Amino acid sequence: MPNKKIILSGMRPTGKLHLGHWAGALENWVALQNGGGYSNYHLIADYHALTTNIDTSDIHAFSLEMVLDWLSAGIDPEVSPVFRQSQIKEHTELHLVFSMLITTARLERNPTLKEQVRDLELGPMSYGYLGYPVLQAADILLYKGEVVPVGEDQLSHVEITREIARDFNRQYGQVFPEPAAKLTKFARLPGLDGKKMSKSLNNAILLSDPPDEVNKKMKKAVTDPQKIRKGDPGRPDICLVFTYHKKFNPSEEDEIRKGCESGSLGCVDCKMRAAEKINIFLEPFRERRKKYESEPEKLDKILRDGEERARAVASQTMSDVHKAMKLG
């Protein structure tokens, strides 16, 4: 699109998404899409998923569930193509070319990679996992991405992408832009137990949860341990439920704070007020999801159309690469 900077964003297919995914990524995606200054591509990173789990038995179903949540959150596939990484063979071809331009020593110095291996307790690192940032560079540069929205913890990956683009251009001629990092403060919405929100920890509110399920889950949310009963003064700044109010009920934030600190607002009432606001927020998501679930053929068409559009761009980029490298 003329005069629009290109952005590629993606997620590994893990199935249904939760409020943490909204706060941490989807909210920003929708804002960038609707902001008018960017051309967005959205990648279902099914090859990336193999770097930590080689079992592919659920990957197709998980991909469809994730796309349903993207669409329900407001991603417009006519404006922002949605596609599967595995269906665009050029991703792997460009990854191979880029892998010749970087040393294993450089990849091993990547601090983000070291932290992920430690946090995920992966054990011995696979060749594919070590090369994860190179595949990520191929994903971005295949669409000649110019901007990469990232948090500070991902800046090292963007730098590797910039280095690879620079090295390719120096060796073969100008083909790729050096994408700039768009430093974005991604919100961290904790789970119902105060830990990182995760389906595996059973502490997540899903974007597709019906109202009664949201209410049921919110009743289990942890609160200030010193506020045992109504009348006890609370400390909203350390209370998980108050964090949810700040995100989904900002108009009543001051009122909730005063009620908690004075003890006039009990924790059960506070939780149910938060649940009510979360349900109001999620209602348009549920409606859009229901529409797409009732028309599975439409979801297939969205993926096919997105993959056609992505493939056309990817094919042209690889043609530029082959020409620059004097291949074929």
Q: Are 26 and 71 in contact (CB under 8 A)?
A: no
Class of domain 5-188+296-325: alpha beta
Q: DSSP string covering 161-215, please?
A: HHHHHHHHHHHH-S----PEEEE------B-TTSSB--GGGT---BTT--HHHHH
Residue with token string 């341990």: 225
Q: What is the chain's pLDDT, residue by residue, as a tens digit (328 residues)?
A: 457 899 999 999 999 999 999 998 899 999 999 987 899 999 999 999 998 889 999 999 999 999 999 999 999 999 999 999 999 999 999 999 999 999 999 998 887 776 776 666 666 778 998 999 999 999 999 999 999 887 776 788 899 999 999 999 999 999 999 999 887 665 689 999 999 999 889 999 999 999 999 999 999 999 999 998 999 999 999 999 999 999 999 999 999 999 999 999 999 999 999 999 999 999 999 999 999 999 999 999 999 999 999 999 999 999 999 999 999 7
Is the domain defined by 209-290 classed in CATH 3.40.50.2300?
A: no
Domain ranges of the chain: 5-188+296-325, 209-290
Q: What is the pTM (predicted TM-score) of this model?
A: 0.92
Residue 242, token pair as written in the block: 């108050």
Residue 250, token pair as written in the block: 């900002």
Fill in the amino acid letter for 218. Answer: M
Q: DSSP string covering 298-310, please?
A: HHHHHHHHHHHHH
Q: Are 85 and 44 in contact (CB under 8 A)?
A: yes
Q: DSSP string covering 224-276, please?
A: -TT--STTS---GGG-HHHHHHHHH-GGGHHHHHHHHHHT-S-HHHHHHHHHH
pLDDT digits (tens, 9 = 90+) for 23-33: 988 999 999 99
Residue 293, token pair as written in the block: 């679930």
